[in-house]
């Protein structure tokens, strides 16, 4: 706007004493000729020409300002159209795309997918099953030392190896590795029997559900008989090995023949070495039974259902977390794009506000410049009229006393 003022009306507005003196001298020259005549009711030719010249410059000024207004209005209209079309459509498209992508994700991984439904149904069913048994028993799981149970049983199985290894050297004297492997297998079998017996013994104390105790007693008896027979056999083998070592040679055929015919009753005699082996095996076996007894719950299905429920819950929550993370990723991506769209919209709105402020400022400047132009013309005309009064021989025209500023404004 300052450039427009400088090009158009700057010369008129920027008055100096030389300019004022020039108009005053023009008034004196016309006053010597009594121009304008005293009976003139309107502005004289000189004054009117001053205003008309200024009016021409003012029209150019208004034309330039109107051109600038038009440019501002066009730019504002373009931004508004872009806000209505591109930005609004983009925002609507983003919302639609987000909804469609979330719906598709729901069909692939969420509630609409068969995998999610299957895992959810398993989870709900397992929760119901666990809740029913908890309501029936009205107590927590009766287990102890769950974390230490498996390591303890492994240690007991390993402890069986050195105890029983020498018993098998009766047959595998030249193959110590085979003896070691068999003793490890026998030790594992003992500990497994101890695990089963302890679990069955604990199950006998279950009072909440009906259990076939006779069947459990039979199972315990059979396992105990097998275990006792095996321990006794190992003790005999240990004694026979000692006897053979004392004799200095191993006559396996004679030993087996005597045992089969029953003619040598000393073959079933157990001395201190064999008894020690039996006691050690019995102690390890009993320790395993006690550990198993305290480790297991009396109810046959409580722990199994509880473990299965936790496993199903873990799988379901893992899958659900995966689905929710995918959802979150989609939401984050669209939120980023929506935020970018919103930032662009705010930028356009800020630009519109700046254009609006610029236009208001332009109107204010035009109004101010018009007042400045009227004031400048008033000074010029007054300089002319004052000079005219000094040299006139006749009275000045009546309009010399009129409101110059009002008259000039009307002419502009």
Domain presence at residue 322: no
For 135-156, what is the mean pLDDT? 87
Whether residue 253 is predicted with pLDDT greater than 60 in this model: the reply is no
**By residue range, what is the domain housing residue 350?**
2-103+342-411
Same domain, 148 and 87: no
Domain boundary among 231, 263, 296: 296
Q: What does the alpha-carbon distance between residue 332 and residue 55 come to, in Å, rounded to a whole number?
A: 63
Per-residue model confidence (pLDDT) at position 258: 47
| CA dihedral sign, ordered 39, 41, 47, 50 | negative
Same domain as 395, residue 283: no
More confident site: 377 or 173: 377
Percentage of the chain exceeding pLDDT 90 = 17
Write out pLDDT tens, residues 318-373. Answer: 999 998 898 888 888 888 877 777 777 788 889 889 988 998 898 888 888 888 88
- Are 198 and 293 in contact, with CB atoms under 8 Å apart? yes
- C-alpha 56/C-alpha 92 separation (Å) is 52
Q: Are residues 272 and 357 in the same domain?
A: no
Query: How much is the average pLDDT of 71-94?
Result: 75
* Per-residue pLDDT at 197 exceeds 90: yes
In angstroms, the CA 272 to CA 239 distance is 8
d(CA 276, CA 280): 6
Cβ partners under 8 Å of residue 295, min gap 6: 143, 144, 145, 146, 149, 198, 199
Residues 154 and 98 in one domain: no
Mark which of 236, 266, 296 sits at the end of a domain. 296
Q: For residue 182, give every residue at least 6 positions away whose Cβ sits within 8 Å of its Cβ, in sequence order, or none.
A: 168, 172
166 inside domain? yes
Asked whether the predicted pLDDT for residue 166 surpasses 90, the reply is: no
Look at residue 125 and tell me if it is in a domain. no
- Number of compact structural domains in the chain: 2
The yes-or-no verdict on residue 255 having pLDDT over 50 is no
Domain boundary among 261, 296, 331: 296
Query: Does one domain contain both 262 and 150?
Result: yes
User: Based on the domain organization, do 157 and 279 belong to the same domain?
Assistant: yes
Q: What is the mean pLDDT of residues 122-136?
A: 90
**Is the pLDDT confidence value at 109 over 50?**
yes
172 and 87 in one domain? no
Does 153 lie in the same domain as 34? no
Query: Considering the domain boundaries, does residue 313 fall inside one?
Result: no
* pLDDT, position 273: 72
Quote the pLDDT of residue 225.
94
201 assigned to some structural domain: yes
Spatial distance between the Cα atoms of 313 and 122, rounded to a whole number of angstroms: 9
| pLDDT confidence of residue 170 | 61
Is 259 in the same domain as 152? yes
Domain shared by 390 and 253, yes or no: no
What is the arithmetic mean of pLDDT over 128-141?
88
pLDDT in tens, 297-320: 888 888 899 999 999 999 999 999
Q: CA-CA distance, 26 to 45, in Å (whole number)?
A: 12
**Together in a domain, 99 and 165:** no
Residue 263's pLDDT is: 41
Rounded mean pLDDT, 116-136: 90
> Looking at the domain assignment, is residue 110 inside a domain?
no
Given a contact cutoff of 8 angstroms between Cβ atoms, the answer to whether 115 and 319 are in contact is yes
Tell me the pLDDT band of 242, cut-offs 50, 70 and 90.
low
State percent of the chain over pLDDT 70.
Answer: 86
Name the average pLDDT for the chain: 82
Residue 47 CA to residue 272 CA, distance in Å, equals 149
365 part of a folded domain: yes
Give the pLDDT confidence score for residue 86 in this predicted structure. Answer: 64
* Four-point Cα dihedral 254, 258, 261, 266, nearest 10: 180
pTM of the predicted model over 0.85: no
Q: In the predicted model, what is the mean pLDDT of residues 32-43?
A: 87
Is 248 found in the same domain as 152? yes
Domain-located, residue 197: yes
pLDDT of residue 138: 86
DSSP line for 162-207: HHHHHHHTTT-TT-HHHHHHHHHHHHHHHHHHHHHHHHHHHHTT--
């Amino acid at each position: 706007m300052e450039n427009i003022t400088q090009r158009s009306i700057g010369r008129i507005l920027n008055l100096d004493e030389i300019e004022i003196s020039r108009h005053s001298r023009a008034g004196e020259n016309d006053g010597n000729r009594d121009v304008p005549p005293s009976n003139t009711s309107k502005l004289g030719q000189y004054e009117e020409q001053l205003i008309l010249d200024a009016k021409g410059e003012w029209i150019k000024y208004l034309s330039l300002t109107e051109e600038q207004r038009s440019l501002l209005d066009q730019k504002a209209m373009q931004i508004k159209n872009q806000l209505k079309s591109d930005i609004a459509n983009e925002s609507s498209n983003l919302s639609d795309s987000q909804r469609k992508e979330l719906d598709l994700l729901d069909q692939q991984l969420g509630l609409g997918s068969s995998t999610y439904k299957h895992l959810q149904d398993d989870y709900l069913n397992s929760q119901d099953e666990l809740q029913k048994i908890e309501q029936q028993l009205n107590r927590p799981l009766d287990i102890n030392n769950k974390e230490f149970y498996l390591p303890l049983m492994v240690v007991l199985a390993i402890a069986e190896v050195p105890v029983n290894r020498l018993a098998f050297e009766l047959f595998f004297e030249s193959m110590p590795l085979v003896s070691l492997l068999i003793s490890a297998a026998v030790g594992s079998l003992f500990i497994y029997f101890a695990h089963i017996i302890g679990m069955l013994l604990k199950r006998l104390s279950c009072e909440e559900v009906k259990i076939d105790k006779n069947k459990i007693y039979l199972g315990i008896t059979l396992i105990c008989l097998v275990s006792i027979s095996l321990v006794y056999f190992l003790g005999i083998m240990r004694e026979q090995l000692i006897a053979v070592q004392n004799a200095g040679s191993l006559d396996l055929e004679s030993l087996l023949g005597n045992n089969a015919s029953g003619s040598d009753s000393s073959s079933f005699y157990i001395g201190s070495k064999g008894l020690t082996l039996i006691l050690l095996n019995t102690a390890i076996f009993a320790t395993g039974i006690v550990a198993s007894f305290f480790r297991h719950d009396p109810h046959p299905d409580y722990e199994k259902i509880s473990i299965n429920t936790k496993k199903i819950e873990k799988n379901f929550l893992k899958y659900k977390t995966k689905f929710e993370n995918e959802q979150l990723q989609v939401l984050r991506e669209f939120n980023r794009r929506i935020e970018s769209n919103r930032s662009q919209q705010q930028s356009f709105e800020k630009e519109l506000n700046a254009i609006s402020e610029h236009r208001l400022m332009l109107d204010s400047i035009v109004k101010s410049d018009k007042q400045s132009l009227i004031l400048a013309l008033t000074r010029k005309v007054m300089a002319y009229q004052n000079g005219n009064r000094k040299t006139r021989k006749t009275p000045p025209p009546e309009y010399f006393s009129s409101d110059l500023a009002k008259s000039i404004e009307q002419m502009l």
